Amino acid sequence: METQSSPSPVHPASQAASRQLPTWIAADNLEQLLRDINAHLTTMTTYMQSEALTHAERLRMQGSGVRRYGFIDKTSDIAEDNLQFAPAFFNLQSLKDLLRVIEVLRNISVTCEQMTRISNDCLLVAGDDAFQMALGYYNTVREASRRRQPGAQAVFSVLREFFNRPRHTASEPTIPEVERDVHALLHGTKDGRIVIEHEKPHGEGGKHVVVDEVRGGKSEEELRIEN
């Protein structure tokens, strides 16, 4: 059985208050940006293919958090003036080169995180704008279908499917679902009927029975609440 969630109409005031995408955020510019990113990603993947870590290897790695990075940095400064304590495998220049690599990689990670956040924000704004526009068209078609304008019912039937929520026919409607259906019937946004019966309990038992035929009108369903 399916439940249709009626979308709210689009109000011009809410559209005016919504965020707007910058003019730079156009499909052509974004596609070029994606090509540039993919080019760098391909290069990094090629060089790092043999260095990819497994989950177990990641857990064993020490990493370079704030405290560890500070320790490494301080060690490189002290070792420069006290090389007599350096073990045979120690290479001061290699340590300093690694410090520079760590610093650049951390900056890249921060930049990528900022870019991801901005990209997600733009995605939300673009998605909201597109949905509001599509919803405005849907609401217009729905009203035209109610007024029996030629061709409107066919268009409305296609778009209405996106607001149908699949539901198992054997499952029972919850109290919030029944309350929403009552509200929809009172405001004329759905067709159907709801019958609520109450059997006074005798001893321990008793039940409420809700016959909800708003949800698709396929069969009666009962919601029993033990008292």
Kindly indicate the confidence band of residue 170, based on its pLDDT and cuts at 50, 70 and 90.
low
Cβ-defined contacts of 178-186 (< 8 Å, 24+): 178/210, 178/212, 178/223, 181/212, 181/214, 181/215, 184/6, 184/214, 185/214
Stretch 198-219: mean pLDDT: 57
Residues 31, 153 contacting (CB under 8 angstroms): no
Kindly indicate the confidence band of residue 218, based on its pLDDT and cuts at 50, 70 and 90.
very low
- Strand-pair category, 164-166 with 2-4: antiparallel
Alpha carbons 219 and 191: distance in angstroms, whole number: 14
Backbone angles phi, psi at 166, to 5 degrees: -60, 145
Alpha carbons 218 and 171: distance in angstroms, whole number: 13
Q: Is the pTM of this model over 0.85?
A: no
Which residue has 């673009």 as its token pair?
Answer: 126
Residues 2, 216 contacting (CB under 8 angstroms): yes
User: Residue ranges per domain, the chain?
Assistant: 2-146, 169-227
User: Is residue 50 pLDDT above 90, yes or no?
Assistant: no
Q: pLDDT (tens digit, 9 = 90+) per residue, 86-101?
A: 999 999 999 999 999 9
Q: Considering the chain, what percentage of its residues have pLDDT values greater than 70?
A: 73
Amino acid identity, residue 42?
T
Find residue 198's DSSP bridge partners: 208
User: Is residue 28 pLDDT above 60, yes or no?
Assistant: yes
Kindly indicate the confidence band of residue 103, based on its pLDDT and cuts at 50, 70 and 90.
very high
Stretch 131-145: mean pLDDT: 94
